[in-house]
């Protein structure tokens, strides 16, 4: 398992048998995607142009918010999940960058070194295949395979956010969205103790309201009695949309496949392809191929007052 670099193609991880993990930063140009964007996101040339113009003016008037207004791809990244409504986009953008300004928390100074243990242990993974709707699939180990004494919950959330930042820059992911599959096999009290209510409220609020991603589903597998204790911590903070997009499958992987085709999933989730054991550090190498862009974007946001 190694990182492959080709001047003519995006960097990728070769997982064998023709399966690769890479990021697609190119804008979609096919008619099917453009039609879906118009239907679901109101994405037409006229709406896009007017929305970018209005969002630029809102950002320009916000004291202390440093955003490169000439960077249309950045503005569109925030506009797409809000269906090109500038006012709601601006509110999300402000909240996102205010969260990013909090030091030693879930978004600040994200780097592969800061999430090294989470990557190496593959607590959070981007699966190489998209689902049947073109959505990215993020897989999380929140039970037996999660050593929470080595990888505390803050690092898990930071790793999730860094991976979401990577796929969130893909125009097709901005259009189609993301689904999560979370494995709670052999969840323990030590795992649950990693999530005090105040922390849970912060990360749930951020995910639901203040992050520029289209979360289309959260699928829970291997949820047993212990999961019910954990879910009671999360449930009071869930809004209507996320509540309707959480699916509890237990050990019934056929139930999962009613939402995500088995052909899109690895065998460990009852799918049709083999996801080999690999050194999670290689994902860090893939992310670091985009290090310059990430470091540049890390400068954006609210300017700290001296």
- Strand 301-302, strand 215-221: pairing: unpaired
Residue 1 confidence class, pLDDT cut points 50, 70, 90: low
Which pair of structure tokens corresponds to residue 40? 């679901």
Predicted structure pTM score: 0.95
Residue 306, pLDDT above cutoff 60 = no
Asked if residues 292 and 213 have their Cβ atoms less than 8 Å apart, the reply is no
Residue 11, pLDDT above cutoff 90 = yes
Q: What is the pLDDT of residue 6?
A: 82
Residue 167, pLDDT above cutoff 90 = yes
Asked if residues 127 and 139 have their Cβ atoms less than 8 Å apart, the reply is yes
Q: What is the pLDDT of residue 228?
A: 92
pLDDT in tens, 241-293: 999 999 999 999 999 999 999 999 999 999 999 998 888 999 999 999 999 99
pLDDT in tens, 102-114: 888 999 989 999 9
Domains of the chain: 31-101 (1.10.8), 112-287 (3.40.525.10)
């Amino acid at each position: 398992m190694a990182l492959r670099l080709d001047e003519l193609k995006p960097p990728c991880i070769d997982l064998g048998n023709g399966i690769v993990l890479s990021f697609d930063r190119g804008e979609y140009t096919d008619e099917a995607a453009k039609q879906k964007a118009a239907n679901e996101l109101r994405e037409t040339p006229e709406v896009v142009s007017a929305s970018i113009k209005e969002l630029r003016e809102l950002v320009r008037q916000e004291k202390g918010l440093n955003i490169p207004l000439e960077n249309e791809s950045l503005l569109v990244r925030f506009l797409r999940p809000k269906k090109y409504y500038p006012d709601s986009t601006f509110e999300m953008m402000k909240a996102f960058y205010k969260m990013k300004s909090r030091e030693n928390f879930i978004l600040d100074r994200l780097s592969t070194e800061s999430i090294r243990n989470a990557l190496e242990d593959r607590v959070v993974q981007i699966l190489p295949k998209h689902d049947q709707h073109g959505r990215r699939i993020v897989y999380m180990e929140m039970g037996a395979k999660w050593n929470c004494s080595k990888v505390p919950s803050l690092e898990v959330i930071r790793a999730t956010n860094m991976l979401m930042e990577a796929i969130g820059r893909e125009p097709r992911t901005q259009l189609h969205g993301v689904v999560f599959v979370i494995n709670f096999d052999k969840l323990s009290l030590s795992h649950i103790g990693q999530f005090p209510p105040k922390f849970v409220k912060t990360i749930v609020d951020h995910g639901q309201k203040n992050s520029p991603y289209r979360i289309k589903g959260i699928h829970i597998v291997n949820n047993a009695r212990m999961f019910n204790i954990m879910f009671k911590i999360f449930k009071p903070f869930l809004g209507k949309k996320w509540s309707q997009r959480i699916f509890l499958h237990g050990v019934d992987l056929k139930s999962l496949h009613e939402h995500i085709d088995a052909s899109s999933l690895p065998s460990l989730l009852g799918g049709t392809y083999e996801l080999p054991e690999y050194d999670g550090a290689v994902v860090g190498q893939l992310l670091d191929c985009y290090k310059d862009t990430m470091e540049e974007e890390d400068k954006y946001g609210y300017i700290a007052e001296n």
